[in-house]
């Protein structure tokens, strides 16, 4: 028996957090209080971004990002990244504005939301990107 199979049988394999003696774990016995590698950070990021694109394709349509521009695409990914699909779906007026390509209204709806008030700096950057399809001053590469 190889080591991974052995440890999976000993520790279990879970994609959600579980606790052992009050300590949070994930995966195959990974204590999430312990640092992870840069490679692991990148892998988690890639998994998260794939999920976000899948969720956005559920809301809009496959290939939704082809016609809106990279900055608007990045803003929507950022918004979905923080909200997740269920909360994003609550932004009905913003979604309708995006589908109508009414970018000023989409930006306004984002800023006028609870999220806009909870994350004002982040939401201001995303709203600017939605409205102007550009990065705000100081955010360019």
Q: What is the pTM of this model?
A: 0.85
Which sequence spans correspond to the domains of the chain? 1-34, 38-132
Mean local confidence (pLDDT), 20-33: 92
Cα-based angle 89, 61, 97 (whole degrees, multiple of 5): 55
pLDDT tens digits for range 61-105 = 877 878 899 999 999 999 999 999 999 999 999 999 999 999 999
Q: Tell me if the domain spanning 38-132 has CATH number 1.10.530.
A: yes
Mean local confidence (pLDDT), 110-133: 96
- Tell me what pLDDT residue 12 has: 87
- Tell me what pLDDT residue 35 has: 93
Measured CA to CA, the distance from residue 135 to residue 141 in angstroms comes to 9
* pLDDT reading at 36 higher than 90: yes
């Amino acid at each position: 028996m190889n080591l991974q199979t052995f440890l999976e049988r000993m520790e279990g394999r879970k994609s959600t957090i579980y606790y052992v003696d009050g300590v949070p774990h994930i995966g195959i016995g990974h204590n999430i209080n312990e640092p992870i590698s840069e490679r692991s950070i990148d892998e988690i990021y890639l998994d998260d971004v794939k999920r976000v694109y899948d969720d956005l394709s559920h809301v809009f349509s496959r290939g939704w990002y082809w016609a809106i521009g990279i900055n608007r695409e990045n803003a929507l990914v950022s918004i979905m990244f923080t909200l997740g699909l269920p909360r994003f779906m609550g932004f009905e007026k913003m979604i309708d504005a995006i589908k109508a390509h009414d970018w000023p209204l989409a930006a306004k709806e984002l800023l006028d939301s609870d999220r806009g008030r909870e994350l004002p700096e982040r939401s201001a950057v995303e709203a600017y990107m939605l409205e102007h399809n550009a990065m705000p001053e100081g955010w360019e590469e």
